[in-house]
Chains A and B, each alone.
Chain A
Amino acid sequence: MATTTTNTTALASQSWYKRNEIAVTPWLFLIPGIAMFALYVIIPIFQSFYLSLFEWDGLGSLAKNGEYVGLEHYERLFTKDRAFNISLWNNLKWLVFYLLAIPGGLMVALFLNQKVFGIRLYKSLFFFPFVISQIVVGLVFTWFYDPQFGLSNWLIGLVGLPPINILGNPNTATYGIIAAGLWPQTAYCMILYLTGLNAVDPEQVEAARLDGAKGHKMLWYIIIPQLKPATFIAFVVTIIGALRSFDLISIMTNGGPFGSTRVLSFYMFEKSLSEYGFKMGYGAAIAVVLFLIMLVFIAYFLWSMYQDEKAAKH
C-alpha cells in the first residue's frame, strides 16, 4: 500500500519536473543569488530614486515625516548648487587622470616581467601599495605633501621651484589626491598585466622576432593585442575605482579646501550622513545622478562582454 502511494507521487512529480527539468534547474540554482542581488542592489536603486523625491531628515518614518517635493532636488542640483557642479567636474578629472594607472601598470609589468634572482620579492614590493588600506595611503601622501616638513617640497626645491601647498590650494588639491590614488591603482593594473603576460603566446613572439619586429613595434602589434582581456579588466576596475573614490578624499582633505575636492560620492555622504547632513532626499538625488553616470559605463561593459560571449559561441 505504502509503496503504491510513493510510486504515484513520484510519477506525478516526475511528470511535471522531468518535462521542465532543463529549463527549471538553472533558475533554482540562481534563486539565492537573484534574491540577494535584488534585496541588496536592485531594490535599493529604486528606493534611492523614490527617496530623492522627498524632503526628509532621516528621523522618524519617511511616510510620516517626509515631505513630497517631486523633482525639486534635481532642479536645485543642476541649476543652483555650485558644490554639485564642482563635484561633477572633479569626478570627470578623476575619470580621466585615474586611467593613467593603466599605461603605468603596463610599464611596471613589462619591466618586472623577467627572470632574475629575487624577482618575486620585487613584484610583491611593487604590489604592496595595493595591499595596504587606502586610509594609510592617504595619510602617507598627506605627510608627503605637507608644506612644512613634507618630502614633496624638498623634491620641488631640488629643481629650484618655490614650495607649494598642494592640498591647500583649490587648483591643485584634486590632482594631489588623484596622484595618491594612482599609487595603489597602478599596482593593481600591474598585477593584472603580469598575469596577462604569462599568457602571451611565446610562439607568436618568436614568429614576430623572425619577421624582424622588436622594440615598440613588437609591443604595439604583438604583445598589447594579446593583453586585451587584461586591459579590459584594468579599464573596468579603474573606472569603477575613480567613480567610487571616497576614502582618500575623506582622509586627505575632507572635501576641502572650501569644498574644492568633493566628488559626487563624498558630497552625497556629506549631505545625508555626515555630522552636518540631514538631507536624506537631497543625498539620494546625488546618488541617483552618480548611479546614472555609472550606468553608462556598466552598460558599455555588459555590452562588450555580451559581444565577447557571442563571438566565443561561433
Chain B
Amino acid sequence: MRSMLKTSVAALATAAVMATGAFAAGHAEPLTGDLRINLDTSNPAPRATMEAMIARFQAKHPDLNITTTVIDREAYKTQIRNFLSADAPDVLTWYAANRMRPYVEAGLLEDVSDMWAEGTDIAQELASTKGAMTIDGKQWGVPYTYYQWGIYYRKDIYEELGLKEPANFDEMVANCEAMIASGRKCYTIGTKWLWTASGWFDYLNMRTHGFDFHMQMARGEIAWTDDRVRQTFANWRRLVDLGAFVDDHQNKDWQQSLPFLVDGSAGAILKGNFAVAPLREAGLTDDQLDFHQFPSITEGVALAEDAPTDTFHIAAGAQNKKAARAFLAHMASAEEQSIINNGENLGQLPVNANASIDDDKFLKEGFAMLSSNSPGGVAQFFDRDFPAEMAKAAMEGMQEFMVFPDNLDDILERLESVRQDTY
C-alpha cells in the first residue's frame, strides 16, 4: 500500500515536471481549439487591463480561438454557480480561500497542484499566496493580484492638529480624541453593505489576539461568546463610545463615505487600496492623503494584515485544459503581473515576487508592509475567510454593534447559535 502510494506520488511529480516542461516549451507546441474565459472585471479600467492581457496571450498563440465573457462583478457572484455546473468556461476569475471552497468541494474547479509543484516558476514566484490557494492539500487556482488594507488618512489635518501616525492603540485613541475635539470625526465608514464593518473587526481581532486566533475563529473553533472575543469588541467600543465613526453610516455604501474624508469632516478611513483612486479623483493630492499600518493593540502580538487575493481558476468541466493551463502560466508570469498591476491598469500589487511594483506611494508602502512588516500572516478578508453564512450573520451583528453597542450580549449569543449551526 505504502509503496503504491509512493509510486503514484513519484508519477505525479514526474507528470508535474513534464507539465512544467510543456509550459516552458509553450511556443514550440502551438495551442489550438477554443478557449473560453469568464471575467468578473466589469469596471472599465480592470476590463481594459484584462482584455489587453488576453490579447497578448492571443498574440503568442494565434491559432487559439479565444472567447471572453465579461460579467458584472456583483452579478458574477451568483452566476458563477450556474455557469460552473451548466456551461463551464475553461478559465474564470474568482477569489481565494474560503470563497472558493464550495466550488472545490462540489468538484467544479480543476486541481492545478501540478502547476504549483516544487521547482515550477509559480511555486517559487507566487509562494506567498500558496496557502490561500490550498484546500485539502491541493491548489485550485493561480492569483493575479492582491492589495493591502490599512488606514488612509488626511496628512494635512493630522499635521494641523499636531498628530502623527499612531504606534499603538492608545495613541490611536488619543489621536481620535484630538480629532473629535477639533469638531471632526476620526473615521468615515459606510456599512450599508456590511463588509466594511468586518474590516474593522478583522484588524481589531488580529491586533488584539493575533492571526492564529482569528483563523481559529474562522474555522469555527472559538465561541463568539468567548471572553477573548468580548475583549476585541471592548476595544472596538472604546472607539464607538468616543463617537469616532461618522453618523448614519448604516445607510451609506462605502463610496458615499468617501466625501467625508475629501471635505475634511473625517480624518481617516480603514479601507483597501482601491479607495485611493476615487479619493484622488475627488481632488485629494498625495500630499494630503497618506497611509499607515493599523497600529498594534496587544503588545507582543505579531502584526498580520488583510490582503484579499483575486484569482484565476480552471473549471473542472473545461474543454481545453491544456490551453487553460498555458493561460494561467502566462497570467502568472512576472512580466504580465507587472503590467496588469501597474498604476495605469489595476493599480494593485502583483503576487509574483519577481514582478516590479509601480512607482506609486501607496503601492510601495503596501508592498513594504506586506512583505516585511506582516510577520503574523496574511488574511484574505472577513467574508472570504469565514464561511458565507457565518460571515453574513456576523457582519450584520457588527453593524448593529456599531450603532447600538449596548446590544453586544444579544448579538454575540445570536452569532454563537449561528456558529453552532454552521460548522
Contact = CB atoms under 8 A, between A and B. Distances in A.
Interface of A: 57-60, 65, 76, 80, 82, 142, 146-148, 165, 167-168, 253-254, 256-259, 270, 273-279
B389 interface: yes
B103 interface: yes
Interface in B178-196: 192-194
Contacts of B400: 257-258
Contact of B383 (A257, A258, A259, A276): A276
Contacts of B106: 57, 59-60, 65
B388 A59 contact: no
B119 interface: no
B77 A147 contact: no
B192 A57 contact: no
A145 B247 CA distance: 15
Interface of B: 74, 77-78, 81, 84-85, 102-103, 105-108, 192-194, 247-248, 250-251, 383, 388-389, 391-392, 396-397, 399-400, 403, 414, 417, 421
Contacts of A256: 192, 194, 250-251, 396, 399
A276 B251 contact: no
A59 B248 contact: no
13 contacts: A59-B85, A142-B251, A147-B247, A148-B248, A165-B251, A167-B251, A253-B192, A256-B250, A256-B399, A258-B397, A276-B392, A277-B392, A278-B388
B392 A270 contact: yes
Contacts of A254: 192-193
A232 B280 CA distance: 57
B109 to A, nearest CB: 11
Contacts of B250: 168, 256-258
Given A165-B251, A168-B403, 8 more contacts: A59-B85, A59-B102, A60-B108, A76-B421, A147-B248, A254-B192, A256-B396, A258-B250
Contacts of A259: 396
Nearest to B400: A258
Contacts of B391: 276
B85 A273 contact: no
B194 A273 contact: no
A147 B399 CA distance: 18
Contacts of B247: 147, 165
A277 B248 contact: no
A276 B399 contact: no
Nearest to A61: B85
Contacts of A65: 106
B103 A59 contact: yes
B184 to A, nearest CB: 16
Contacts of B383: 276
Report the 8 A-B pairs with minimum CB-CB distance, sorted nearest first: A59-B106, A258-B400, A276-B392, A257-B250, A276-B388, A168-B251, A60-B106, A275-B77
A257 B190 CA distance: 12
A58 B174 CA distance: 49
Nearest to A82: B414
B74 to A, nearest CB: 8
A147 B192 CA distance: 14
Contacts of A76: 421
A270 B393 CA distance: 11
A254 B391 CA distance: 16
B396 A258 contact: yes
B83 to A, nearest CB: 12
A146 B250 CA distance: 12
Q: In the complex, which of the residues A58, A146, A274, A275 has the most CB atoms of chain B within 10 Å of its own CB atom?
A: A275
Contacts of A57: 102, 106
A131 B324 CA distance: 48
B107 A60 contact: yes
Nearest to A59: B106
A279 B251 contact: no
B107 A273 contact: no
Contacts of A80: 417, 421
Contacts of A253: 192, 251
B78 A275 contact: yes
Contacts of B85: 59-60
A278 B389 contact: yes
A146 B259 CA distance: 15
Contact of B81 (A59, A146, A165): A59
A274 B421 CA distance: 19
A146 B251 CA distance: 8
Contacts of B248: 147-148, 165, 168
B112 to A, nearest CB: 19
Contacts of A277: 388-389, 392
B104 to A, nearest CB: 10
Nearest to B76: A275
A213 B252 CA distance: 55
Nearest to A258: B400
A285 to B, nearest CB: 14
A256 B197 CA distance: 13
A62 B84 CA distance: 16
A135 to B, nearest CB: 14
A278 B102 contact: yes
A273 to B, nearest CB: 6
Q: In the complex, which of the residues B85, B388, B414 has the most CB atoms of chain A within 10 Å of its own CB atom?
A: B388
Contacts of B403: 168, 257-258
A225 B346 CA distance: 67
Contacts of B421: 76, 80
Contacts of A270: 392
A147 B252 CA distance: 10
A148 B417 CA distance: 37
Q: In the complex, which of the residues B102, B248, B399 has the most CB atoms of chain A within 10 Å of its own CB atom?
A: B248
B93 to A, nearest CB: 15
A268 to B, nearest CB: 14
